[in-house]
Structure 1
Amino acid sequence: MARRFHVRAQIDEDRHRILFVISGDIESRALIDHWIEVYSEIAEPWTYDRLFDYRRAEGLVDFDEITRLAAWWHDRVGCRDYSSRVAVVVNNPLDQARIHVVSRLFPREIRKAFTTVDEALEWLDGTAARRRA
């Protein structure tokens, strides 16, 4: 039985962090459209660390759609020199392995897979603390 797709974004202005929670059977185009919409509302989205929680999602994001996002992102970022962290929370080793493929499309970002949101937040919080120091 198919589970209804849903994605929710929570923007934390104080921590410069965006949390995306994805659930149900993944609809790649709708997912990428939502990310682009959220990023478009932020003046400098590349300054935000991001956490993607896929624990309640089923399926894979289509690589062509990820490539579409990468092209949009690079147009938006331009030649800016930036570095951001991206934590991805997944349930299985296959999803963890795919993170490295996506990382090649976003070379100025550090992506790391986690199995819990707490671990991901701890990693992101440590990164933010180092930036403030």
Structure 2
Amino acid sequence: MSQRSRISLNVDALNRILFIRLHSLRHEHETPDLNDCLLGVEQPWRYDALFDFRRYEADLSGEYLAFLTQTWTGMYEGRDRGRRMALVSPCPVLHLQLREMRGVVPDHGTVVFESFDEGLDWLRTARPVAA
């Protein structure tokens, strides 16, 4: 049986920020995936995103990172061009892997942070992006 991350989503509609927290691997039938989580958000491509890997409890393979990136880019098909992504992880190895992800989504301002607060501050204070 295939596995995927348990994902939680919080939406800050006022600041147009999606908080996507990846926790641990679960069996596929037991948890929604990223697509399922975003179905309830109207025009999610108009939001910046903070991906929080601080509580991720499994090895994050390059294959899984590629899957997450393909899922994200497939959902939005370029409609989120110019949006920003903050990727948060205090783990040095994961930090390096996340930095490598930035090249896959070159149309985004993507920055890797060690703390949630740093990532959130960057999203809130970075230059405005046209909606």
Identify whether the pair has TM-score above 0.5, normalized to the shorter chain: yes
1:123 is displaced (CA, Å) by 0.6
Alignment-derived partner of residue 11 in structure 2: 11
Secondary structure in 2 aligned to 1:21?
Answer: strand
Residues in 2 aligned to 1:29 and 1:84: alpha-carbon distance in whole angstroms: 29
| TM superposition score normalised by structure 1 | 0.73
More displaced stretch, 105-114 vs 34-43: 34-43
Report the CA distance between 1:79 and its aligned residue: 4.8
Q: Which residue of 2 aligns with 1:74?
A: 73
Structure 2: segments with no counterpart, 5+ residues: none
Deviations 1:50-104 (A, max 9, x none): 1122222222334334333433433433354721111122122111111122222
* 2-structure distance, mates of 1:64, 1:29: 16
Give deviations 1:9-57, integer Å, cap 9, x for gaps.
101111111112233x435968xx5212223333422221111222222
**CA RMSD between the two structures:** 3.0
Structure 1 position 131 matched with structure 2 position 128: yes
Which ranges of structure 1 fall in alignment gaps of 5 or more residues? none
Q: Would you say 1:86 and 2:85 are equivalent positions?
A: yes
Q: How many residues align structurally?
A: 125
Measured in 2, the distance between the counterparts of 1:49 and 1:28 equals: 28
Aligned pairs for 1:1-133 (under 5 A) are 6-23=6-23, 25-27=24-26, 34-80=33-79, 82-127=81-126, 130-131=127-128
Range moving further from structure 2, 6-15 or 77-86: 77-86
CA distance in 2, matches of 1:84, 1:104: 15
The sequence identity of aligned pairs, in percent, is 22
- Checking the alignment, whether the CA contact within 8 Å between 2:99 and 2:112 is kept in structure 1 is no
